[in-house]
Structure 1
Amino acid sequence: MLANMIPMQIPGLAVGRNQPFILCLEDFKYYGTDIFTIVSAWPRSKVHFNIANAAIIKEMTTSRAKWVKPVEQYTMVLQFGRNIVATEGRDEWKKHRKIANPAFSEPNNKMVWDEAVRITIDMTDNVWKNEAEVTTENAVDITLSLALLIIGSAGFGRKISFEEDLKIPPGHTMSFKDALHVVSTDMILNVLIPKWAMSLSKRLRTLYMQEMIDDRRNAEKKPERDDLFSSLLDANMEEAEGAEARLEDSELIGTALSPCRPNFSELTIYRIIYAGNIFIFLLAGHETTAHTLCFTLGLLALYPDQQEILYDNITSVLPDKRLPVVAIPKKSAEDSTLVTTTVTGEKIVLPVPKGAGITLHTPGLHYNPRYWKDPYEFKPQRFCEDWPRDAFLPFSGGARSCIGRRFSETEATAILAILIARYRVETRNEPQFASETFEQRRERLLKVKAGITTTPVGVPLVFKRR
């Protein structure tokens, strides 16, 4: 608590708030090694290891029995029940994986692509109205809107446009997209605020679950049922044997208002699995991609030469500019050791006690000069050459790697291709920053804050029609 009151972490002393991106990178530089430990002065606190070593991270992501997931850190995402992200143990995790995996199919990938193209074109044609110049104070407002509509469609079968989303359905108080946003952004309130004060949030969450179920029932009349929600519920029908074990759609709502308790019946366990995973699809399916796209647009604006390379590539594949519609936590399960070397070649052996906290620090890994030449330079072409696969983990690694990787990559590729084919992205000129250097502008646009995922503070951009 005391550390959180200090505005900055002091490199080399690890005092202050542990901001995971910029400041930890400074610590790795300070120590001259890709592992450093933090020992808290707070009584009974455990040692914590920050790791940016590719070989060690690969070993930890593949040896699941020795290096386990600290599920106690995932209380926030258990609001609707246990899910694939917040489970550990071979049997329990495999049950979640078995249920969730079929939803991320090739038909769903095609649906993601089709909907990402449709929704992005809808935005440029009907919201931006193909204007010569569109200005935004923060690009994340654009990418979040796109990602929410795409997850609403490809995730939950709610196929709507920007114009339709402005209309609030009869009997409701907000649009479907806004309901999705409230559920994901308000989740921290469920942890911080007493249950008696959460009546409004509970009502909104019930509304959100009911809207998805109503849409799913209507979708049953249609031949296409490739969204994640329908696929997950279809898996329920196949997984559960007999009428007693089969879940009704309405049972998904009850879990949203019921605390998790031990000794559930098998039927209730299934209810928690489906409701919990539907919620995690929502959370992981829009915010992570939206924030990544926002930073990508910011970097393309900062590096116009790289943006033109991307534009040339898009137009070479699509001459008419139209697309065809088609930080990782761990915990030591036993006493162990870690071996690394400093920048001077000195070998270091670190004892790791059972229960020690571990952060596989992907920003530290991705900016580690041991693996990357000029790691702080924006050079997308490095991935067209020979590059160290083990030193790049945008979706984690091993058996616990992100199940939605293809969903996110497909969505992001389609959005970028449409936007860059139609618009040139530039940084917004603001008088108060007229005298800043390129380095200062880059630092300002890429500034982050802590959130469920690494969150952009402000990325003001201008989109100019090509």
Structure 2
Amino acid sequence: MIPWPTAVIYLADAAIIKEVATFRAKFPKPIYIYKALSAFGGNIVASEGEDWKRYRAISAPAFSERNTRLVWDETIRIMFDLFDNVWGDSPEIVLDHCVDITLPIALFVVGVAGFGRRVTWTSDLTVPPGHQMTFKDALHNASSNLILKMGVPNWAMKLTERTRRVNLAFDELRQYMVEMVDARRSAETKEERHDLFSGLLDAAQDNPDGGVAITEQELVGNMFIFLFAGHETTAHALCFTFALLALYPDEQERLYQQIKEILVDTNGTPTYEDINRFTLSMAVLNESLRMFPPVSSVPKHAAEDTSLTVGNADGGETTFPVPSGTRVRFHVPGLHYNPKYWKDPHTFRPERFLEEWPRNAFLPFSSGARGCLGKRFFETESIAAITVMISRYRVEVKEEPEFLGETFEQRYARITAFDQMVTTTPRRVPLVFKRR
């Protein structure tokens, strides 16, 4: 482990962030920070060097065009299943917290497009034989309590009802993942699949040709990372997006009009071939990610004595030394709200992403070679979910007596309040979805 440094440097300058992200040998990722994400084994997030290269070589081929199409089709199916078989003919759906709907959407998509495990809105309501918790509950409880699990000694995890349930969630999730591996390996018919799991599973087989391979523990470790990242990050991003659309009804109406115009040509069902036509859906998503990035800080550390040169408030440059071992962090909100790059950064204005925009100052998926491998997966799922939802429902903030008379600024602060956990986590987003 690197000795604890005496200083941490936060960067919100696009040019220097790009430089640091590019020179990975000089500014590697401090993997000791990611101990919590190694709960089930080594993985692509909590690794560097040769291990990271091996995990990436195994995982990258799965994020193919065929997988992206699968993500789109399954997201549309899951949304229609929600509308037809859960919400039905109800003129409005009232949610005390929007994540109650976005968490299962994200889980179902990553389950089928990532792991070939198709779940419907009604199929995961009962605990299967041999388990004490559903797959959905186990994943949610484990991912929500990573820091608790890693920070509390094993003996202390048995002391309270909450910690015992967290322990159970980790045990249950591990059992579910092992069962997924066993079921795929023992299947009599070997189907051609385009999910991520297939690539990981193939890499974990005996490899007489000396190619890239991973151990059983690494297989489970990477399964967890992709389940966690594809589930929690997407769910929270969608929640913030629907919150912002509810707070800014004019922007929501503008989005609806574009969607309605495009769906006239597709008989009401968005098709994968038309994904690039939904430019405002993508702009809304990007603006939401700019204002509420999933990760607020991207850590690096200096592997050698060096220096950095950044722009200053006077329009000039300042160079300062960076001793070996110094922690360096990309301050993502500082970058995303920097008026040097973004006009009126505190205003929700999706149209900024329909114009020329500063791509090096937009960092929701990190940057450089360590950028998020599942970026396209995430974007495709999110655009499909946003497009279908807004085509069917108008989103409004739930009216509550205790908040009558609040100003827009007060309502905005309340609805978009969050906790900075492993990811940016909305506290409570009470919304109403009204059938158009």
The more displaced of 318-327 and 63-72 is 318-327
What residue in structure 2 maps to residue 401 of structure 1? 371
- What whole-Å deviation, never above 9, does each CA across 1:314-344 have from its counterpart, x for those lacking one? 1122124322378211111112222223323
Q: What is the TM-score normalised by the length of structure 2?
A: 0.86
Which of 417, 423, 427 is equivalent to 2:397?
Answer: 427
Q: Is the 8 A contact 1:76 1:191 kept in 2?
A: yes
- What whole-Å deviation, never above 9, does each CA across 1:205-252 have from its counterpart, x for those lacking one? 332223322442476636342221122112334x8227xx89xxxxxx
Mapped to 2, the partners of 1:317 and 1:455 lie a distance apart of 33
What residue in structure 2 maps to residue 271 of structure 1? 216
1:187: Cα distance to partner? 2.8
Which of 89, 92, 101 is equivalent to 1:133?
Answer: 92
Mapped to 1, the partners of 2:102 and 2:151 lie a distance apart of 28
1:274 counterpart letter in structure 2: L
Unaligned runs of 5+ in 1: 1-42, 247-265
1:449: Cα distance to partner? 0.4
2:382 counterpart letter in structure 1: A
Aligned: 1:314 with 2:259: yes
What residue in structure 2 maps to residue 77 of structure 1? 37
Q: What is the TM-score normalised by the length of structure 1?
A: 0.81
Q: What is the percentage of aligned positions where both structures have the same residue?
A: 51
What residue in structure 2 maps to residue 171 of structure 1? 130
- What whole-Å deviation, never above 9, does each CA across 1:319-372 have from its counterpart, x for those lacking one? 243223782111111122222233233542222111111110111111100011
Partner of 1:163, secondary structure, is coil
- What whole-Å deviation, never above 9, does each CA across 1:19-48 have from its counterpart, x for those lacking one? xxxxxxxxxxxxxxxxxxxxxxxx964200
1:440: Cα distance to partner? 1.2
Partner of 2:421, secondary structure, is coil
Partner of 1:358, secondary structure, is strand
Unaligned runs of 5+ in 2: 159-166, 274-296
Query: Closer, same or farther in 2 for the Cα pair 1:290/1:363, shift >3 Å?
Result: same
- What whole-Å deviation, never above 9, does each CA across 1:245-272 have from its counterpart, x for those lacking one? 89xxxxxxxxxxxxxxxxxxx98x6333
2:256 counterpart letter in structure 1: Y
Q: Is the 8 A contact 2:13 2:311 kept in 1?
A: no
Partner of 1:162, secondary structure, is coil
The more displaced of 322-331 and 382-391 is 322-331
Partner of 1:373, secondary structure, is coil
- Kindly report which structure 2 residues correspond to 1:47-446, keeping only aligned pairs within 5 A, or say none: 47-89=7-49, 91-196=50-155, 197=157, 200-217=168-185, 221=189, 223-237=191-205, 240-241=207-208, 270-319=215-264, 320-324=267-271, 327-446=297-416
Mapped to 1, the partners of 2:328 and 2:5 lie a distance apart of 13
Query: Closer, same or farther in 2 for the Cα pair 1:187/1:212, shift >3 Å?
Result: farther
Partner of 1:166, secondary structure, is coil
Q: Is the 8 A contact 2:312 2:318 kept in 1?
A: yes
1:201: Cα distance to partner? 4.4
Counting matched residue pairs gives: 400
1:436: Cα distance to partner? 1.1
Q: Is the 8 A contact 1:219 1:225 kept in 2?
A: no
Q: Is the 8 A contact 2:178 2:220 kept in 1?
A: no
1:95 counterpart letter in structure 2: R
